[in-house]
């Protein structure tokens, strides 16, 4: 059972990347999300249902690797990327810009993302990426508004 939990927490092993595991996990999440109906209520509802599940796997990862927000845990990036693309049309430019917005915001940890990151346990690992995903989604909406009136 631990192997399955590790596979999920590392998003099929993306978290084992020796360099920039969060970026690698985000990239693979973007590729997967491309094939999902992001403009569907079912997509958004699935993200909501996945929140406590993701927190569980993030918590498992912290305990397994005995480290707060261990670099191997990238399932939180998957949720954050999912939020980034919620209600967005399938346009490769949107997906590329969304990826970079998410990664930049994830690195900068603009408040309240930095405060969410300090929460102990799996929820802390997850919630900063939820906030960052919301920021990236808002950024995409703003760009779409100004670039495609």
- Domain with 51, as residue range(s), is 2-147
Q: Which residues of 90-102 are buried (b: 16+ CB within 10 A; e: fewer)?
A: eeeebbebbbebb
**pTM of the shown model:** 0.94
Supply the pLDDT for residue 149.
Answer: 56
Supply the pLDDT for residue 148.
Answer: 74
Number of structural domains (the chain) is 1
pLDDT under 70: residue ranges of the chain: 149
Supply the pLDDT for residue 88.
Answer: 96
Place of tokens 């960052």: 132
């Amino acid at each position: 059972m631990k192997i399955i939990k590790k596979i999920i927490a590392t998003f099929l092993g993306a978290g084992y990347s020796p360099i920039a595991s969060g970026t690698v996990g985000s990239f693979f999440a973007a590729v997967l999300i491309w094939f999902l109906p992001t403009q569907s209520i079912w997509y958004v509802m699935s993200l909501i249902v996945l929140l406590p599940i993701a927190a569980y796997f993030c918590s498992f990862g912290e305990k397994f690797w005995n480290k707060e927000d261990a670099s191997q845990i990238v399932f939180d990036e998957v949720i954050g990327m999912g939020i980034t693309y919620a209600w967005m049309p399938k346009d490769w430019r949107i997906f590329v810009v969304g990826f970079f917005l998410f990664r930049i915001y994830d690195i900068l940890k603009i408040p309240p993302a930095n405060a969410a990151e300090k929460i102990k346990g799996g929820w802390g690992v997850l919630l900063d990426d939820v906030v960052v995903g919301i920021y990236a989604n808002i950024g995409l909406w703003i760009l779409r508004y100004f670039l495609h009136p």
